[in-house]
Chain A
Amino acid sequence: MHKLLRNRKLHLGGTTLALLVLPFVTDLLFGRGWVRIEDFALLYIMLALGLNIVVGFAGLLDLGYVAFFAVGAYTYALLASPQLGLHLPFWIILPAGALLAGFFGALLGAPTLKLRGDYLAIVTLGFGEIIRIFLNNLNAPVNITNGAQGISQVDAMRIGDFSLGRNQELFGFAIPSVHLHYYLFLLFTLLVIFVTARLQDSRIGRAWVAIREDEVAAEAMGINTRNIKLLAFVMGASFGGISGGLFAGFQGFVSPESFSLMESIMILCMVVLGGMGNIAGVVLGGIILVVLPEVFRNGAGPLQQWLFGKVFIDPESMRMLMFGVALIVVMLWRPAGLWPSTRRQRELEATGDAAEQDTVYDSGR
């Protein structure tokens, strides 16, 4: 027992250290561009974890999830840029963005409470598009979002004089801006993971799963299915809002085209590919789907050059092809995702002998 505990501490310490030095090691080995990709991976992990609450826990298929990311990002951009002349600090804007996104989550959830499966998917898909189109067109008659041009010169996140937008010197170390963002995003990601894990093991988490399994039975067990479903939408949306705010502060620029349907699908892929309902799996899915396409983008050209002495296929077009093939292979090979929850694993193992049990028992043991 003692040994186990020490082992665990060692593990935790090792992971923490690895996460802390990761941007520096990456910078050294692969260049700063990859640290930036790591930042994006963290943002997408937060998004995937938020969507996982809706899709993985409560079983509500949401194809417009990127809308909440957009709400968070535009909240930040509008409250901290020359667009409206406002420059509020990020620790006010981020919670505001999360709240507003949560409100939009309820707005989407309320009219769709009776819908499930494909029907819900269609409505949420429409909702995602509505938000994007609004952002695209809210530049007339009063210019709020600046239309398709987007909002630029968004303030960097700062605490007092310490701005994450510039390289900073800390304890005699020069720490680049991307590294600083990495640490901030890591902090938020860990927070989201913590909250999600606690939710999963709570009474609410159990109620979500019950609704996913059988809504009528859940209601018959005294679960307020309406409120619990709304709560899933609100919680998931607020995570998306936080991620969106961080994205806006990091990029310094937002425009509607960052929030297309393709993004929603990408986030959904992370959840499904990683392992629906399993936090670790979803994190893995997020990392893979951000990093892998970049590897293809940077690796496919040189690889062809090295193999054939000539680039046959443009790496950019090959990237999506390989991505599609990889998705199909994973889904054929591991239908429950790369890292399924233990529950799903048990289920897949158990389905094999279920029929046999049935006959044995019913024939009168």
Chain B
Amino acid sequence: MNLLEVQDLKVSYGGIRALKGISLNIAAGELVALIGSNGAGKSTTLKALAGLLPCQGKLHLQGKSLLHRAGHLRVADGMALVPEGRGVFARLSVQENLQIGAYTRKETAAILEQELQQIYALFPRLKERRNQLAGTLSGGEQQMLAMGRAMMCKPRLLMLDEPSMGLAPLMVEKVFETIQNISTQGVSILLVEQNARQALQIASRGYVLESGSITLSDDAASLLDSAAIQKAYLGS
């Protein structure tokens, strides 16, 4: 059984249909990329999955329907979203940001502290800067913090919205490295990216979204080789 199953998901903004019924699925531990150009509906998809937008269709996580569950409840169900633009709490310290990540957790303080240390092991920069305000971090560090914070939710499915946006090339590589790293820990990942080439290089499968519909889905390797994709998204 797939971890996430989405069928015929529709989202409208007022009268405008932003998602025209998309279907996708993610197996446990899989890293799936959702690529597409500006305005294709990538962020809308993630927001709908995270419960931040009303939607229609079918949406199951581990066989349980989430369609009518409020967004904040889906976190405890095992979904975590790193929103577009990172959404770090700028006037809180790095450590406080990470602590809020554990907001829904019921575990003891000792266990959460241990997990916090694991996050710090994954992101040594964050440990160095744990008392610094999140707003003063560089873009790359903020992205790391946003991912670390989402990991504190202990998700089964981590959804990343354009993690490479606005970062220097070297930092982008680091971010993708980290995503792969998280993936090897067994967390399923849905990666939304405009940076299609790099996303497909680390993903196992990919979906291509075009103006609210999924037009292609295949192994990441095949998508990378596909002439149509190369022309449209990879610029070569």
Contacts and interface: CB of A to CB of B under 8 A. Distances in A.
Interface of A: 203, 206-207, 209-210, 212-214, 216-225, 343-344, 346-347, 350-351, 353-354, 357-358, 361-364
Given A221-B101, A221-B103, A362-B171, A214 B88 contact: yes
B70 A224 contact: yes
Contact of B88 (A203, A217, A350): A217
Interface string B98-136: 011101100000000000000000000100000011011
A228 to B, nearest CB: 9
Interface in B64-120: 70-73, 75-76, 80-83, 87-92, 96, 99-101, 103-104
Given A219-B71, A358-B139, A347 B133 contact: yes
A214 to B, nearest CB: 5
Contacts of A203: 103
Contact of A351 (B50, B104, B125, B136): B136
A221 B75 CA distance: 7
Contacts of A353: 136
Contacts of A224: 70, 72
B138 A362 contact: yes
B153 A222 contact: yes
A217 B139 contact: no
Contacts of A343: 91-92, 133
Interface residues of B, number: 43
13 contacts: A210-B92, A214-B90, A216-B83, A218-B100, A220-B87, A221-B100, A222-B72, A223-B72, A350-B135, A357-B138, A361-B140, A361-B141, A362-B168
Contacts of B104: 221-222
A319 B72 CA distance: 50
B139 A210 contact: no
Given A214-B87, A361-B141, A207 B103 contact: yes
Given A206-B96, A206-B100, A210-B100, A222 B167 contact: no
B16 interface: no
A246 B70 CA distance: 41
Nearest to B149: A221
Given A209-B89, A210-B100, A219 B136 contact: no
A350 B83 contact: no
